[in-house]
Amino acid sequence: MARIIDVAKHAGVSVASVSRVLAGLPGVSEETRARVQAAAKALDYRPDLAARRLRSRRTDTIGLIVSDIRNPFFTEVSRAVEDMAYEHGQRVILCNADEDPEKEAFYLELMRNENVSGVILSPTLPLLSHFKAADYGFPIVLVDRCERGTEADAVVLDNLDAAYRLTEHLIERGYRKIACLYGAASATGQQRYEGYSQAMMRANLTLQGRALRPAVAEARGATLELLGGRQPPEALIASNGLLLLGIAEGVRELGLICPAQIAVAGFDDLPWVRLVDPGLTVVAQPTYDIGRAAIELLLQRIAQPSQAVRRVVLRGDLIVRGSTAARAATAPAGA
Amino acid sequence: MARIIDVAKHAGVSVASVSRVLAGLPGVSEETRARVQAAAKALDYRPDLAARRLRSRRTDTIGLIVSDIRNPFFTEVSRAVEDMAYEHGQRVILCNADEDPEKEAFYLELMRNENVSGVILSPTLPLLSHFKAADYGFPIVLVDRCERGTEADAVVLDNLDAAYRLTEHLIERGYRKIACLYGAASATGQQRYEGYSQAMMRANLTLQGRALRPAVAEARGATLELLGGRQPPEALIASNGLLLLGIAEGVRELGLICPAQIAVAGFDDLPWVRLVDPGLTVVAQPTYDIGRAAIELLLQRIAQPSQAVRRVVLRGDLIVRGSTAARAATAPAGA
DNA sequence: CTGTTAGCGCTTTCAC
DNA sequence: GTGAAAGCGCTAACAG
């Protein structure tokens, strides 16, 4: 493996000049520059990143800690982050906390040891509850999850608004008994439940919420239970793609026809939602924009560590499909 | 930030002793060990990884380059790899080549610059066609994709066997006109097509294959075309989850009833396949085992760089669901 | 069992 | 515009 000194000798210059050329710094004659580049190429020289980082005290690396890599939402966000990061000369370390606060702590610790220039994080609920970006030795931007008073830069969906509109849509279509299954493990789930609640209360309807662990089986179980009881709801809302899948499974298991017997709606425009019988009505999230906004916030925070906390709130896109077609039968039109 | 010398002073010992204690090396008295640990804790010392790597010439980092992070198969594999890697004291850098040979080359280059101890890779077809593990400066293990004579350690499904069994199942159930949509961009797709071909030929049936780019829309289009023509197939097989989704979309679009009018089967037991009307028959891959086997091969290769090339071939699991129920109507029983 | 010391390969003053 | 030289923080001989 060729080292910088080999390149210097080959080019007949000092290591300082080689370093300057490779870093693209000014103050090098054209001739020297050319000779160094030729030598580097001839020797297939590649700088030792460990040495460079040690000396320069910069890693040009950002950490991305997602709470669940199996969730397509985070997969998409991570693609955006990666694309943007490399455009800005930053490497990305992608970590999956698996909704486990311990793993999350482990990775945050790792980020510190790695001396990353910054971190993008979708925090678990316990961490978020007392989260302060200033507690860490590096810049942090939150994505997807963040509470009202959280002292950190963040990029989130307007969860309350999106859930409100989704619920309102159901109400407009004539549904009255609407239940909401939401993720108990994230701030996002709670905010979406809040949006549902406000829309229901505004229409003087009775709330029916179920806080669940973010797992398909949980939603499936809750669906079977709700729809099997007396006074079953006319519509079911899920606060994320996982729970939506569970609802769809439960509905199918009971052999109910959607939307005639049960309307269904949720979050995340996943590949399969248009496949399920009449197509599922969902709020689509602008995943790529979320990722891009996150890295932009982070880069600005790195450049200006002490600037005021900023928050980017994006709007969800309501996509109406057959699963929430207007309720034909019994609905009394009375507001 | 405390450095090793600060810890040494605080503990009243030399940096060498601190280094030994922190590395867990023998030859340190219990007392010294205790004092060092106390000092490290008191100062909240964390070793500078860049310095450690520079000096020790080890990174304890493995690279994982997947060809498409959006494919749930790779998501699952990466979780397994990550779990196992950390158990063995290795960090993981996860990269997404997005089925793009340029990105793939970029990441392979990055791996070299990072001086990783090894790489796990699911190669694109162009790279695989002339792949030799020995061409790289570090140990490599292939995962999911590999050809007969590829000179590299690899962990793959027995694609031919799995596709053969899947096709055979369809034939046993009375289907004769069976078309196969397979991914043209990976060795895996081709091998699965080969398994399909052998089963069809053994039963004296006519092949009907479509090589497609690995995208949902491609499979959807091919499905519409095949089923819209005269002599439409009685059954459709997809070589992976993406194409299977496209088939399901196409079938739904045409309003056909599965399996009465068209049987469907494919690869990858994704969350949504049991949701689609009668449930989809698929070959499930042991994703976690694949990830685990890959890292075990890699660790052994790192320990024994010159050992003979090894290959782990895992068996797929045929899960029969309603989408391939026995063909009731016209089927002549004649073998 | 412990301490001293020479670098790992690079960037970055500082002189020229 | 260029080069000499001083480390970045750590590990691993080596000497005691």
- Tens digits of per-residue pLDDT, B229-270? 889 999 999 999 999 999 999 999 999 999 999 999 999 999
Residue A161 near residue A316, CB atoms below 8 Å: yes
- Residue bearing the bigger pLDDT, B271 or A321: A321
Q: Cβ–Cβ contacts within 10 Å for residue B164, how many?
A: 20
Question: What tens digit of pLDDT does each residue of B86-136 get?
Answer: 999 999 999 999 999 999 999 999 999 999 999 999 999 999 999 999 999
pTM for this entry: 0.92
pLDDT of residue A1: 84
Question: What tens digit of pLDDT does each residue of A277-295 get?
Answer: 889 999 999 999 999 999 9
- A147 and A134 part of one domain: yes
- Percent of chain A topping pLDDT 90: 90
C-alpha pair distances (Å), B313 with each of B5, B84, B158, B262:
50, 19, 6, 32
Q: Cβ–Cβ contacts within 10 Å for residue B166, how many?
A: 29
Q: Which residues of B touch A (CB under 8 A)?
A: 46-51, 53-54, 59, 69-70, 72, 75-76, 78-79, 82, 91, 93-94, 96, 98, 110, 112-115, 216, 245, 248-249, 252, 271-272, 274-277
Nearest-angstrom CA–CA distance, A209 and A206: 10
For residue A304, give its domain range.
58-158+287-316
pLDDT of residue A329: 59
**CATH code, domain carrying A24:** 1.10.260.40
Question: What tens digit of pLDDT does each residue of A233-244 get?
Answer: 999 999 999 999
Spell A232-250 as b/e; 16+ CB within 10 A means b: bbbbbbbbbbbbbbbbbbb
pLDDT of residue B330: 54
How would DSSP label each residue in A39-108?
Answer: HHHHTT----HHHHHHHH----EEEEEES-TTSHHHHHHHHHHHHHHHHTT-EEEEEE-TT-HHHHHHHH
Residue A285 near residue A268, CB atoms below 8 Å: yes
Q: Is B265 part of any domain?
A: yes
Nearest-angstrom CA–CA distance, A139 and B281: 48
Question: What tens digit of pLDDT does each residue of B162-177 get?
Answer: 999 999 999 999 999 9
Q: Which residues of A touch B (CB under 8 A)?
A: 46-51, 53-54, 59, 69-70, 72, 75-76, 78-79, 82, 91, 93-94, 96, 98, 110, 112-115, 216, 245, 248-249, 252, 271-272, 274-277
Q: Is B52 part of any domain?
A: no
- B326 and B206 part of one domain: yes
pLDDT of residue B295: 96
Q: Sorting pLDDT into bands at 50, 70 and 90, what band is B329?
A: low
Residues of chain B with Cβ-Cβ distance to A96 below 8 Å are 78-79, 82
- B326 and B274 part of one domain: yes
Residues of chain A with Cβ-Cβ distance to B76 below 8 Å are 70
Q: Sorting pLDDT into bands at 50, 70 and 90, what band is B333?
A: very low
pLDDT of residue B334: 43
Distance A11 CA to C15 C1' (A): 23
Answer whether residue B335 shows pLDDT above 70. no
- Do β-strands B281-284 and B317-319 pair in parallel, antiparallel, or remain unpaired? antiparallel
- A253 and A143 part of one domain: no
Question: What tens digit of pLDDT does each residue of A181-208 get?
Answer: 999 989 999 999 999 999 999 999 999 9
pLDDT of residue B276: 87
Q: Sorting pLDDT into bands at 50, 70 and 90, what band is B328?
A: confident
Answer whether residue A334 shows pLDDT above 60. no
Taking alpha carbons only, the member of B154, B121, B128 closest to residue B311 is: B154
Q: Is A52 part of any domain?
A: no
- A180 and A325 part of one domain: yes
- B172 and B272 part of one domain: yes
Taking alpha carbons only, the member of B295, B279, B290, B280 closest to residue B72 is: B290
Closest CA–CA distance from residue A93 to any residue of chain B (Å): 6
- B89 and B214 part of one domain: no
Q: Give the closest of B51, B216, B275 to A249, CB-based.
A: B275
- A175 and A267 part of one domain: yes
- B134 and B210 part of one domain: no
Q: Is A38 part of any domain?
A: yes
Q: Cβ–Cβ contacts within 10 Å for residue A254, how many?
A: 14
C-alpha pair distances (Å), B217 with each of A212, A271, B50, B265:
34, 11, 46, 17
Tell whether omega for the bond before A259 is within 30 degrees of 0, i.e. cis. yes
What's the average model confidence in pLDDT over B296-303?
A: 95
- Do β-strands B235-238 and A235-238 pair in parallel, antiparallel, or remain unpaired? unpaired
- Confirm whether any atom of chain D, the nucleic acid strand, is less than 7 Å from CB of A32: yes
Residues of chain B with Cβ-Cβ distance to A275 below 8 Å are 245, 248-249, 252, 272, 275-276
Q: Is B251 part of any domain?
A: yes
**CATH code, domain carrying A183:** 3.40.50.2300
Q: What is the CA radius of gyration of chain A?
A: 26
How would DSSP label each residue in B32-66?
Answer: HHHHHHHHHHHTT----HHHHHHHHS---EEEEEE
- Identify the three-state secondary structure at position B230: coil
Answer whether residue A144 shows pLDDT above 70. yes
Answer whether residue A95 shows pLDDT above 70. yes
Q: Is B303 part of any domain?
A: yes
- B164 and B278 part of one domain: yes
Reported as half-sphere exposure (CB side, CA atoms, 13 A), residue B131 has a value of 28
pLDDT of residue A330: 54
Residue contact A50–B54, C-beta within 8 A? yes
Q: Is B294 part of any domain?
A: yes
Nearest-angstrom CA–CA distance, A97 and A120: 12
- B16 and B68 part of one domain: no
Closest CA–CA distance from residue A317 to any residue of chain B (Å): 21
- Residue bearing the bigger pLDDT, A335 or B316: B316
Residue contact B72–A70, C-beta within 8 A? yes
- A77 and A152 part of one domain: yes
Q: Is A98 part of any domain?
A: yes
- Residue bearing the bigger pLDDT, A97 or B328: A97
Closest CA–CA distance from residue A276 to any residue of chain B (Å): 6
**How many domains would you assign to chain B?**
3
